[in-house]
Amino acid sequence: MINQLKQLQRIEPDADFLARSKKIILTASPKPEYIFQLRHAATHFFKVSFALGLMAVMLLVISGRFAPAPASLIASLNSKQLVRESTKYDFNLQLAEAQYYQEVDKQINLALNEIISNGKAGP
Amino acid sequence: MLAGEYKLIEEARQGKAEAFGALYDHYAKPIYRYIYLKISDKALTEDITHEVFLSAWQNIRNYKFQGFPFSSWLYQIARNRVIDYYRTHHESVDVYEIEETTAKLVSQPANLDPDLDLERVKRALHRLSPDQKEVIILRFINDLSPLEIAAIMEKSEGAVRLIQFRAISNLKKLLND
């Protein structure tokens, strides 16, 4: 089988093509070295910048300054939950109001009873 | 590897066209064969081969010796060009078309093993996965070492040997079917 594969070594380009291609290639000139130096410098700069940026983010995460948004802030973005919460607060407010009036009623009753009892005890 | 290759590369880096011409003469045929076996179109193979050497000549000052022959660098350029070609064209190659075109270039050798037919080997080769096909072409048709193939394919030598083992097993299976 290997010998069969080696038979494919007979595949060769046309001599005309080789001569023509070589002639065209050699009329061009190699790129100057400074282009590659500039390219290397740019690549190096981006690599270093990326590494430093990544390190800064990691430090922020480790130090805890770059924490995800608090749960309350995230919850405030949920409109359904907001509606639910507003209803709950209104309900709580009404309860507090009823409690207040109940207290006031008690105080008024106590005051009236005191006045009445004072009137009876008087001259 | 070409005799005096380092000297030729250094001279080519200094802009000496004759030095690069010598490298071209030595490597144009195997690079052409490698591209042809992957693309199976003569005109396209010529275009890509030309582009590979033009790119190598224009970027010769960027070449750095990393312990591998100059051919590894050329094969890497060729490999990337072939990948670019398939990425832009999204075309699949018809196996039978490959056989037909390859048959025009490869004449039937006189001392063929009667159990194995060259056409069947070619057909089986094109049915392998791209990596397996690449390893077979580079290892057994272009006679590169596993280390050189590893450098070209950007894989470890062990990975190349594993791909080679699987490629041979698959090729045998395909030939027995």
SS3 percent helix, strand, coil of chain A, rounded to 5, is: 85, 0, 15
Nearest to B128 by CA among B164, B156, B152, B162: B164
Averaged pLDDT in 10-residue chunks for chain B of 177 residues: 84 90 94 90 93 94 84 93 86 49 45 56 85 92 90 92 93 83
Q: Which residues of B touch A10 (CB under 8 A)?
A: 105-107
Residues 6+ apart with CB under 8 A from B134: B38, B79, B149, B153
pLDDT tens-digit readout, A33-92: 888 888 889 999 999 999 999 999 888 888 876 666 666 666 667 777 777 777 776 666
Task: Provide, as residue numbers in chain A, all residues whose Cβ is less than 8 Å from the Cβ of B10.
Answer: none
This prediction's pTM:
0.66
Mutate to test the interface with A, among B18, B29, B98 (most CBs of A within 10 A): B29
Which residues of chain B have a CB within 8 Å of the CB of A11? 32-33, 36-37, 102, 105-106
Q: How far apart are CA B125 and CA B173, in angstroms?
A: 11
Q: Which residue has the tokens 């066209």?
A: B17
